[in-house]
Structure 1
Amino acid sequence: MRINVGAKLWLAFFCTLTLTVLTMYLLLQNNLKRGFLDYTSVQAIQRLDILSDALLNIHKKEGSFAALQQTPERWLDMKSIVFSDSPKFETNSTDGRNELSAQDNLTQHDIDLTQNFYREFVNSISLYDSDKNLLLGVIKPGKTISWIPIMAHDKPLGFIGFVKPDVVVREADKRFVSHQLTFFGLISVVVLVISILVATLLTRRISRPIKQLSKHTQLLASGDYRQRIQVSSNDEIGQLSDNFNKLAQALEASETSRKNWIADISHEMRTPLAVLKAQIEAMQDGVRPLDAKGLALLKQKTDGLNTLVDDLFELTLSDIGALSYQKQSLALDKLVVACIEQYQAKIAEAGLTLRFVTPKSSPIKIHGDAKRLEQLLGNLLENATRYTDAGGSVEVELLAEPDKVILLVRDSAPSVALELREKIFERLHRVEGSRNRSTGGAGLGLAICTNIVAAHQGRISAEDSPLGGLTIRVELPNKAQ
């Protein structure tokens, strides 16, 4: 049988409260009995001071307790002094036991019960000498004895031994204890009922957002990413609801991005394919001659498609972590110089000037993949060449700091609006509105650069260029790992 969270919470509250109330009741019961017995013991010990004074007088007159040992009846009579303000004891001449007088207007039942208590109490009193050797009374093994000294001139002449009772004997005392326990029991039941009601309300309050979260999670799992939960608290459940909203928002954005990705890829591939199809059909119909110029155009469009497919494949490998990196110690400044030499002619053909700001210290060592870092700089130079107006310039600078190496690729106008700079690192994003611009690529270069930098535990960002365009800033750790 499946038990929901609300039922589990209620059961947890119920079991905890029941156990707590039961434990409190048992502790109160035990403390009440012990406290009552301690109280009666203290009262009894206070009464024993009377007996102590009487025994002291006997010792002063007779010099010892020897005569008292010879007459046990006298010892019993002396112990009855303890109850001088209670129902009177009389000594039965036939058996020598203390009995209650019937002249106290007590019922025979009360007399019997009280007599049993006082007899038990009297039997718990014993007389010991100064060395605590028993003179009169009975030794009760395993019982705790309270000692009341019989003092004369700061010297003990003997001791009265009193065994504390371990159970409530008198019926009146039993009724009192029973009444108190019944009262405690009623209070415990009332507290338990109130606690259960409070637990029920708390359970509903706690389980309601959990049920709501479960419902919205099922809808989210079915593909409805528009689900949102109203956050009504600042506790863990409120944080969980807020995290759910963030997850739903991220999934919705991811789904939108996926749809846009498919649309963008289709658009990027449709344009060169349409040109290829039109050129081939024109050649088939004899509209265009099948010459070197026509074949060169076909090759150009085919190369563009091939580059797009390669970039997509490489970006996909990078996303799933399957792009291989062969990292080793290398001189980054030499790699930058070699890459600039490769792009020098292409940048010049675009009507741009290229300048490399030589680092103050050389070589600049880092731990990285030479092939991927060369691809990184190549994409940055390609991007700068494509989006810089003719007659402008491109500048590459390499800086070495104690904990990192900074690569700066600057270009001249045009620049990119501040609010769009973060978006240029998104795949298939281009600043210009038309995707048919002759200088425009597929918008994958900077996305690939972002993945390469991340694989080297670095950072990439865009900022204003002193040349009037855009600066791409790449930070890489310079310590070998």
Structure 2
Amino acid sequence: MKIRITYRLFLVILAAAILTVLSTFFIMQWSVEHGFRRYLHNVEQTQFARLAVRLEAGYAAQGGWDYLKNEPEQWFRLIAETFPQGHPRPPEGQPLGGPRPGEHDREPRPFPPPMGRPPREIGRMFLLLDGNKQPVFAPAEIPVDTTLKPLQYHNRTVGYLGLLPHKRLTDDFQRRFLKDVQSALSLIAGTIVLLAAGLALPLANRLVRPIKALAAATDRLASGEYTTRVPITSTDELGQLARGFNSLALTLEKNEQTRRQWVADISHELRTPLAILRGEIEAIQDGIRPTTPDAIDSLHGEVLRLEHLVNDLYQLSLSDVGALTYRKVELELDALLTAVLATYRPQFAARGITVAATILGEGTDVVFGDPERMRQLFVNIFDNALKYTDPGGTIAVRLTYQSELAAIDIEDSAPGVPPGDLERLFERLYRVEASRNRAAGGAGLGLAICRNIVEAHAGTITAHPSSLGGIWIRIELPLTGRC
């Protein structure tokens, strides 16, 4: 049987409330009864001491205990006068051991025997021993834990007053008092349980409501509704869960948009060279364009462009899934950067682009990297600079070392990129069409590959406006140490 989480929470809250109430009830009941018994014991001890004083005075006045042995009612009178509320007296209006008023013609009614079971069990509670601990008024067997108080006369012990232990309350008033307290505690416990039951269900519904909203939103998100959001109504764990869900939904929405844009861009990039190839081939087939070396060269160029695009896509996909092979060694950046730049100097010179290089290092600063991937990184950046720098411009290359980092700065002159587009330069297939158009070549994948390579080397790559009028690419890589 499937139990809804609302009822589970309800049962948990109700069970916790019942256990708390029961624990409190029994603890309070024990505490009240224990405290009440302790109070009665203290009262008994006080009156017990008072009875001892009266017995000592009686012994001093009578010169012994014979007056109690000969007149047992004296013993009970002393007890009744000392414990007026805790123990019974003779019937109202009748003196202890004497007749009632108006009954002088009858035989005097004797008081119950000392060791019998008089009302309120007087004889079961007290005993009196002489100086030799012989019973004056005492049961046949005296319990071991009986409290004995010595009775003194002229600095000698002439007897012992004993209080027999009793486990049960002996007075109706006392029992009634405890019963009333227990009834009140039971009423309070029942009221609290009813209140807990009445509050537990609304509270459980209140706690489960955000979970239900999250469950419904998760179903919509799983069905492809990436615009789904849930309201954040609290700052607790459920609120954090709602914020996490909204962040997840936003990420999925952006990823879906990126995927659609990716598919559209790839289709566009592939369609253009394929359309050119198809048009030129059909022109040759129809005899509109003769089969000349120039026509073949044009077809070959489109094929190379298509191959370059496919290779870039393949490299980017490998770097995204981490499947690119990196064979890292201790690498001298200054030598590698100088070598790559040397291969591009003739091409820069052919376009009239001035190269200003400041490459520091004498083999003492190394990074832990893959030479081939680092070469691919610099080639992509220099290739970008060559394509997107106007003839007669300038390119500045700097390699410096800052604390534990190696910084590579590559700047070019106009045209530049609007500041709002700089952060998107490393997105795949992104191009600023106003200045970096398809006529210059490339599909906008080079910088995306560069970012993956730098991140694989635990570095960072950023784009900034250049003081030369173009773009400033900054690469920071961690150094492995000093040789």
Which category of TM-score, normalised to the shorter sequence, fits these structures?
Answer: 0.7 to 0.9
User: Which position in structure 1 is the counterpart of 2:255?
Assistant: 254
Return the offset for 1:46: 1.9
Return the offset for 1:292: 2.3
Structure 1: how far apart are the matches of 2:84 and 2:456? 100
Q: Is the 8 A contact 1:41 1:164 kept in 2?
A: no
Q: Is the 8 A contact 1:327 1:369 kept in 2?
A: yes
Q: Is the 8 A contact 1:332 1:363 kept in 2?
A: no
Return the offset for 1:244: 1.2
Structure 1: how far apart are the matches of 2:20 and 2:160? 45
User: Which position in structure 2 is the counterpart of 1:265?
Assistant: 266
User: Which position in structure 2 is the counterpart of 1:221?
Assistant: 222
Q: Is the 8 A contact 2:334 2:361 kept in 1?
A: no
2:342 corresponds to 1:349: no
- The one-character-per-residue Cα deviations of 1:347-403 (angstroms, maximum 9, x if unpaired) are 333332223212156432111111111111111111222221111111211111222
Equivalent of residue 96 in structure 1, options 96, 104, 114: 114
1:409 match: secondary structure: strand
- The one-character-per-residue Cα deviations of 1:300-325 (angstroms, maximum 9, x if unpaired) are 11111111111111111111121221
Aligned AA (1:44): E
User: Which position in structure 2 is the counterpart of 1:36?
Assistant: 36
Return the offset for 1:168: 2.9
Aligned AA (1:270): R
Return the offset for 1:94: 7.8
Comparing 169-178 and 295-304, the one that deviates more: 169-178
Kindly report the root-mean-square deviation, in angstroms, between the aligned alpha carbons of the 2 structures: 3.3
Structure 1: how far apart are the matches of 2:241 and 2:317? 32
2:290 match: secondary structure: coil
Structure 2: how far apart are the matches of 1:376 and 1:305? 21
CA distance 1:273–1:84, change in 2 (3 Å): closer
Aligned AA (1:174): R
Return the offset for 1:445: 0.9
Q: Is the 8 A contact 1:37 1:165 kept in 2?
A: no
Return the offset for 1:157: 8.1
User: Which position in structure 1 is the counterpart of 2:27?
Assistant: 27
1:233 match: secondary structure: coil
Structure 1: how far apart are the matches of 2:436 and 2:157? 115
Q: Is the 8 A contact 1:334 1:363 kept in 2?
A: no
Q: Is the 8 A contact 1:387 1:439 kept in 2?
A: yes
2:189 corresponds to 1:171: no
- 1:265-304 paired onto structure 2 within 5 Å: 265-304=266-305
Return the offset for 1:11: 1.3
1:424 match: secondary structure: coil
Q: Is the 8 A contact 2:214 2:230 kept in 1?
A: yes
Structure 1: how far apart are the matches of 2:283 and 2:180? 112
Aligned AA (1:305): L
User: Which position in structure 2 is the counterpart of 1:358?
Assistant: 359
- 1:315-394 paired onto structure 2 within 5 Å: 315-359=316-360, 362-394=363-395
Structure 2: how far apart are the matches of 1:253 and 1:161? 92
CA distance 1:124–1:445, change in 2 (3 Å): farther
Structure 2: how far apart are the matches of 1:418 and 1:154? 111
Structure 1: how far apart are the matches of 2:345 and 2:130? 121
Gaps of at least 5 residues in structure 2 are 91-95, 98-109
User: Which position in structure 1 is the counterpart of 2:143?
Assistant: 140
CA distance 1:257–1:68, change in 2 (3 Å): farther
- 1:408-419 paired onto structure 2 within 5 Å: 408-419=409-420
CA distance 1:94–1:467, change in 2 (3 Å): closer
Report how many aligned residue pairs link the two structures.
Answer: 461
Aligned AA (1:83): F
2:425 match: secondary structure: helix
CA distance 1:153–1:5, change in 2 (3 Å): farther
Comparing 461-470 and 205-214, the one that deviates more: 461-470
Aligned AA (1:445): G
Structure 2: how far apart are the matches of 1:159 and 1:210? 76
- The one-character-per-residue Cα deviations of 1:22-63 (angstroms, maximum 9, x if unpaired) are 111111221222122222222222211221202433565689
Gaps of at least 5 residues in structure 1 are 101-114
Return the offset for 1:467: 1.4
Aligned AA (1:96): P
Q: Is the 8 A contact 2:60 2:153 kept in 1?
A: no
Q: Is the 8 A contact 2:463 2:471 kept in 1?
A: yes
Q: Is the 8 A contact 1:51 1:82 kept in 2?
A: yes
Q: Is the 8 A contact 1:408 1:471 kept in 2?
A: yes
1:173 match: secondary structure: helix
1:212 match: secondary structure: helix
CA distance 1:380–1:78, change in 2 (3 Å): same
User: Which position in structure 1 is the counterpart of 2:107?
Assistant: none
Structure 2: how far apart are the matches of 1:134 and 1:360? 115
Structure 2: how far apart are the matches of 1:147 and 1:129? 12
Normalization by structure 1: what TM-score?
A: 0.85
Q: Is the 8 A contact 2:115 2:124 kept in 1?
A: no
Comparing 153-162 and 412-421, the one that deviates more: 153-162
Comparing 264-273 and 40-49, the one that deviates more: 40-49
Return the offset for 1:296: 1.8
User: Which position in structure 2 is the counterpart of 1:6?
Assistant: 6
User: Which position in structure 1 is the counterpart of 2:201?
Assistant: 200
Return the offset for 1:71: 8.2
Identity of paired residues, percent?
35
Return the offset for 1:418: 1.5
CA distance 1:364–1:71, change in 2 (3 Å): farther
